[in-house]
Chains A and B, each alone.
Chain A
Amino acid sequence: MTAILVDGVVYASWIFLVSVGLTLVFGVLRILNIAHGSLYAVGAYTGAWLVVRYFQPGMPLALSFALLLAGALIAGLVLGPLIERLLLRFTYGRDEVMQLLVTYALFLILGDLTKLIWGVNPYYAYAPYSMLGNVSIGNVPYPRYDLVLIGLAATVGIGLWLMTNRTRFGRLMTAVIGDREISTALGINVPLVCTVAFTIGTVLAALGGAFTAPTISVVPGIDVTVIVLSFAVVVIGGLGSLEGAALGSLIVGIARAIAVHRFPDLDLVTIYVVMVIVLIFRPQGLFGRAEVKRL
């Protein structure tokens, strides 16, 4: 039971980190970004590459974390504005399908681009993971790194909440989310808000990737799985909702942990079944708002 809970929370933290950027971007830009997984992969590559390049045994652990963070920031700050300004900008107000497919094309392009930059051979950045060691919970060892992930997810979650609710930019963002036209009329620089929001989303995707990098072998193909996974989480929680993403992650995390411990065969299907069930009872997701048209 404890094991299920611990595993569930660990997985929930990871999946929240990976998917929260997607929901933020959807909230502001109204675009469901299929290339989100690619941005995750780029973050993983950049982070892993920095660790491999600059981190030597014997250096302080904190440095490796700084490198991962730097990787996420570099990847996000370079790609975010670039993609938003050069590509997404042309799709605002266009058909939803079209926006979806523009990001799908981006997903194809970024996939090969990562391959061109980093090659096909894996990058390993497990130093931070193994250096942290283990902690025993109920006789079963867990990596301390998982606790870092939980902490990071909580930090990101709270940080985003504070940003949305306590800062000027957060209020601007909320206004743009609420009504783009009125915001423009009020003199809000909507394009700038969009660029910044997308960049934050990209940094978050890259952050998810960078902090996953120490636990995996960073190879081509890690982007695809993350896409559907984050779709599921974000849809379950309600598109555009921060609280939703948090709760959605938790539900998916616990459901998966139950499956792994009790019905290991069904691990694969759990997430989609949860998604279908939630959507049947809450078509807009747990925290989504239904839109009613006024006549």
Chain B
Amino acid sequence: MFTGENIIQIVSGFLHWAYAQVGISALAGAIDPVITAIVMFGFISVFVMFLVWMERKVSAHMQSRIGPNRVGPFGLLQTVADAIKLTTKEDVKPVNRDKIPYFIAPIVAFVATFMGMVVIPFDKGMVVQDLNVGILYIIAITGFTVIAILTAGWSSNNKFALLGGFRSAAQIISYEVPLVLSVVPIIMITGTLSLSGIVEYQQQAGYWFIFPQIVAFIIFITSATAEANRAPFDIPEAESELIGGFHTEYSGVKFAMFFLGEYIAVVVSSAVAVTLFLGGWLPVAFLGFLHLPGFIWFLIKLVSVIYLVMAFRWTFPRLRVDQLMDFGWKVLIPLSILNILITASVWLLLYGKGAQ
């Protein structure tokens, strides 16, 4: 069967054959992860470009427009053209910027979100590094973006950017809490922090966690949207209030890095949502006869979740900064704590003390 695991085996077999040909078999252990990372990087770049195109198409059709349709078939190459434009364009910098933080901020924003991809299992065994603390790792590493955004807002020496940076700090810190709390019930049930382990548990149990944990799913998607600074929680950017927020003064490649960082954050959080709640690479039950490889199922689910996030953006107004805090602290956190309590008590009732 043509599954993700087979692909990995074939590829690694090919690689080891190639190493033997050039005589560096001894180094294989060191080179393998590097090559995997490069492949990952390529895949993610292409996928993010597809997402940008998808977002524009989705928004266009929601607004009864056509969207990009000039470059390539259905405008698919539009993002490539945009990327070329952004990379070749002049990098306009404010004179009184704080030079080093201004330079570092977009790199941190890009890298921090990108690192999250390392532990996402696309298929059984198709994962760069299957950490046993995968969820913790993702939550920790994506939290880095707040530093990037705050640095960007501060170093641009622009009033709107500074306001945006402060808003972002307040927002991301308060939405980390419900994000983590919504994941806790699943960890309680499965007893593992590894993402692959959670998917395997769903396979054995025969159901996806979205069914017992619908509340957690809603809380997770909401907080993940807020974490990625996307509408309706895009107050750090808020183009009708703060023009561009923290990236007001960024242009060219640096802007592209922020832009890509935002989309990768969407991919990472949606991928985690798929893994935790939608059964990762498992096939949809009533469509099992299709016998598609696991990573195709994963991508289908991923794109559906991302569509949901995009539909939020193009339907809802933006919250005000204090209402955002209120919503986070007064609605999401109590709900997620309640969810933990209910899950724990039901599990105790059902399985007794020896649950697991």
A and B held together in a complex: no
- Chain B residues proximal to chain A, CB less than 8 Å: none
- Chain A residues proximal to chain B, CB less than 8 Å: none
